[in-house]
Amino acid sequence: MIVLNQKQKRILLILGVVAVLLLAMVAIITAIRLQQVGTEPVAPSVPKSKPRAEEVIPTPGPNSACRKTWTIAAVLTCSDASRFNDDFSTSSLDTTKWTPTTNGGATISISGGQLVISIPQQTSQQFSNVRSQNISGDFVVEVDLVSVQTGDSGSVEMSFLDSGEVKARVSRYKSPSGERVETSFGESTPVSVDLPIGTGSVRARIVREGSTIRTYYRLSEGSVFNLIAETTSGFVGEGMFELFSVTFPPDFPATVARFDNFTIACLTTPTLTPTPTGTITPTVTLTATPTPTATNTPQPTNTPVPGTPGQATNTPVPLAQGPTAIPTVPQQSLPQAGGILPTIGAVVGGLGIILLGLLLLL
């Protein structure tokens, strides 16, 4: 056993007291800091640190190798594409609605309130057209295929296409044997209907509903549209409309195609009203029922019972007194934390016990 002299005991006591004081200071400072952190309001969406994404990134210059410009074509839905309806009443083609393409010296003009595509005599097949902007969604599109004037064979037609590929078309085709309306979907075999001799303007219609596309024609204003053909596996993506004319072999004669009254609208499902097929007359039998008269019924009361000496006597209480108010018990607030003082007190008490143990050892 190690025996300490008086001087060594004092030194050890001093070192113990200093260590206890240092530990007490550390504990108190830690408790104060924890108290501050626990009561400091923090917004979860506003961190103190600055994310790197907020740093300003320099804008590439015009000659930067990383700079690239993208041109995105406008895509319309049928609800806002209706502003591209055109009755061709302006003096020239409205290029805010249409993009013209001409080949072989053809011209595109507005004449007599109609769109006119004129293609001169050719030595090979040539076409000219006007195209709309892209459109998405279901739609109903119509145009008047007014006429096609040609020495041999030619057409006037409306097409729905994507990236130059025809997805659905309705054409009015003229040949030496007569005129007909013709339709096809993509590369499918055309379906045609002969037109009566002397037919005037033909109203063409293309309807898309999901993957179902139908084509129609109408011979006169006010008459019904006749279905030409339909497909249930039609194109469902974005596409544009084209008013189109082309010359045909063998002579590729001059062709003049006329259009009028182009319209586009959203496809709406009509609300059907059922028509009754017979008249039902209900038979109602009225039976008089006497109305009972309410009578007041006396309410029994409790009979008082004498109590024992020194005790209260029971008081009679009526049985029917209406709703009884339920006493409201005020809510008690939860006890709040004691804050920093209990923490400091516990630390000081613990250190005091440690110091007392050192003194006892000495």
Output phi, psi for 213, to 5 deg.
-125, 130
Which residues contact residue 289 at a Cβ distance below 8 angstroms, ignoring those fewer than 6 apart?
none
Residue-level pLDDT at 207? 95
pLDDT tens digits along 326-355: 454 454 444 444 456 666 666 667 767 776
Range picked from 40-44, 65-69, 115-119, 290-294 for highest mean pLDDT = 115-119
Q: Strands 127-131 and 99-101: what pairing? A: antiparallel
167: left (phi over 0), alpha (psi -120 to 50) or beta: alpha
Say what the pLDDT of residue 313 is: 46
For residues 96-111, average pLDDT: 94
Q: Is pLDDT larger for residue 311 or for residue 133?
A: 133
Strand 134-136 versus strand 75-77 pairing type: parallel
User: Which has the closest alpha carbon to 242: 100, 347, 103?
Assistant: 100
**pTM for this predicted structure:** 0.55
**What percent of the chain is modeled with pLDDT above 70?**
61
Name the more confident of 76 and 139.
139
CB burial of 271-302 (b: ≥16 within 10 Å; e: otherwise) equals: eeeeeeeeeeeeeeeeeeeeeeeeeeeeeeee
Buried residues in 123-162 as b, exposed as e (16+ CB within 10 A): eeebbbbbbbbbbeebbbbbbbbbbbebebbbbbbbbbbe
| Both structure tokens of 28 | 């108190």
- pLDDT at 347 (0 to 100): 64
CA distance 239 to 135: 6
Portion of the chain with pLDDT greater than 90, in percent: 40
Question: 306 vs 171, which has greater pLDDT?
Answer: 171
pLDDT band at 75 (very low <50, low <70, confident <90, very high): low
Domains with residue ranges and CATH for the chain: 75-266 (2.60.120.200)
Q: Label residue 271 by pLDDT band (50, 70, 90).
A: very low
Question: Are the CB atoms for 257 and 88 separated by under 8 Å?
Answer: no
SS (H, E, C) 90-146: CCCCCCCCCEEECCCCCEEEEECCEEEEEECCCCCCCEEEEECCEEECCEEEEEEEE
Take residue 169 and report the two structure tokens written for it.
């078309």
| Residue 65 banded pLDDT, cuts 50, 70, 90 | low
* pLDDT score at 344: 66
The HSE-up count of residue 80 (CA atoms within 13 Å, CB side) is 8
How high is the mean pLDDT of the chain?
A: 77
